A = this chain, B = another copy of it.
C-alpha cells in the first residue's frame, strides 16, 4: 500500500511490549489527510528514521523522555516536503526535517522545523548530518576525548552512530577497533569505513580476539551495546580510559535483572583501579552548545570524502515495524531509513 494524496496512514503504538517488541505492538490506522489552518503547513513524509531510542519510548518506565501513549503515533525523525503552506516562511516543495513520526502527513505551525537547503541526499539530515552524526561527534570528541595514538573501540561499529564514531576517531589518528555482528559487517568496517580492525561479537572466541586486536589496551570505548560486549571490553581498559555511554541495545528488552553473577562490583573495581571515566549522555542536551561546530566539521569531512556513510533503506511505511524489530536484533547494515513516499 503506497502513500496517497488522500489518506494519512499512521503507525501507532497498539500495546507496550514485554521484552522484545513484536509486530502486534504496532497498529496501522488511516484517516483523511489533515488540513492546515492559518499559519500552518501540511507536510508529506518522504523519509522516516528508525533508531533504537524508540524502544525506550514504547515503555512507560521512567526515562529522559516521555513515553508514547498507547494509541498514539510512534515518534521519529522525519524528512518531509511541504505540500501546502499558510506560513510565510515555507512554500510548497520545500524540504524540512522534523519529528513527525511514523505517518504520511502532518500539520505543523513551523515550530521545531528545520528547512533543508540543497542537500544532495535529504535523508542524510536523519543520519550523518543529523542526530546520529551529532551523537557520534559529541560522544566521541567531548566525552571520549581521543588523542592521536589512542586505541578507540566502537561497539555497533556499522550502525548509524558507530560507523561515524570510528571514522572520526580515524581522522584523529587513533587506532580504531570495531565490534560488529557477523563477518560481513566486520569486513565492511575495515574496507568501507577504514577501521583498523573489527571483531565479530558472535564469535565464540570474541573476548580473546578483541584482546589480541588491542595489544596496547583500550583508551576510549564508545558504548552502544552493553552485555557481553561490555564484559569483554572492561578488562582491557587502560589507566585513564574514557567510556561515553550512548546506548545499551543489548538491554532495551530486559524485563528484570538477569539471574547471573553480579558484575557491578567488578565494574566499579575497574573504574577505581584504572581511573576510568564513564559518562552517559543524551544528545538533545548538546544542541545549544555544539551543533554549529558539528555541522561545520561534518560537512567538511563529507565534502572532502574523508568520511563515508551507508544507509539501509526500507521501502514503505508499512514495513517500519518489521524493520525496527530487525534493527533491535542487529539485522540492519548502516542507518535504517524508511522511504515513506516518493521525493
Please measure, in the bound complex, the distance between the C-alpha atom of A140 and the C-alpha atom of B174, giving whole angstroms. Answer: 32
Which of A21-29, A88-96, A263-271, A332-340 lies at the interface?
A263-271
Closest to A264 in B: B263
Q: For residue A200, which residues in chain B have a CB less than 8 angstroms away from its CB? A: none
Name the interface residues of A51-109: CB closer than 8 Å to any CB of B.
Answer: 62-64
Q: For residue A282, which residues in chain B have a CB less than 8 angstroms away from its CB? A: 272-273, 275
Contact A276 B273, beta carbon cutoff 8 Å: no
Q: For residue A261, which residues in chain B have a CB less than 8 angstroms away from its CB? A: 256-260, 262
Contact B285 A275, beta carbon cutoff 8 Å: yes
Which of A243-251, A308-316, A321-329 lies at the interface?
A243-251
Q: Within the oligomer, what is the number of copies of this chain? A: 2
Does A33 have its Cβ within 8 Å of any Cβ on chain B?
no
Q: For residue A223, which residues in chain B have a CB less than 8 angstroms away from its CB? A: 268
A156 smallest CB distance to B (angstroms): 14
Given A262-B262, A279-B278, do A272 and B257 touch, yes or no (CB 8 Å)? Answer: no
Does A293 have its Cβ within 8 Å of any Cβ on chain B?
no
Select A267's contact among B62, B267, B273, beta carbons within 8 Å. Answer: B267
A48 smallest CB distance to B (angstroms): 24
Does A19 have its Cβ within 8 Å of any Cβ on chain B?
no
Does A230 have its Cβ within 8 Å of any Cβ on chain B?
yes
Q: For residue A269, which residues in chain B have a CB less than 8 angstroms away from its CB? A: 248, 251
Q: For residue A343, which residues in chain B have a CB less than 8 angstroms away from its CB? A: none
Q: For residue A285, which residues in chain B have a CB less than 8 angstroms away from its CB? A: 275
Closest to A56 in B: B273
Contact A262 B260, beta carbon cutoff 8 Å: yes
Does A301 have its Cβ within 8 Å of any Cβ on chain B?
no
Contact B272 A247, beta carbon cutoff 8 Å: yes
Given A230-B268, A267-B267, A268-B245, do A273 and B262 touch, yes or no (CB 8 Å)? Answer: no
Name the interface residues of A214-236: CB closer than 8 Å to any CB of B.
Answer: 223, 226-227, 230
A residues near B (Cβ < 8 Å) are 62-64, 223, 226-227, 230, 239, 245-248, 250-251, 254, 256-282, 285
A-B contact pairs, 10 of them (CB 8 A): A62-B273, A63-B273, A64-B274, A251-B269, A256-B261, A260-B261, A271-B279, A272-B281, A272-B282, A273-B280
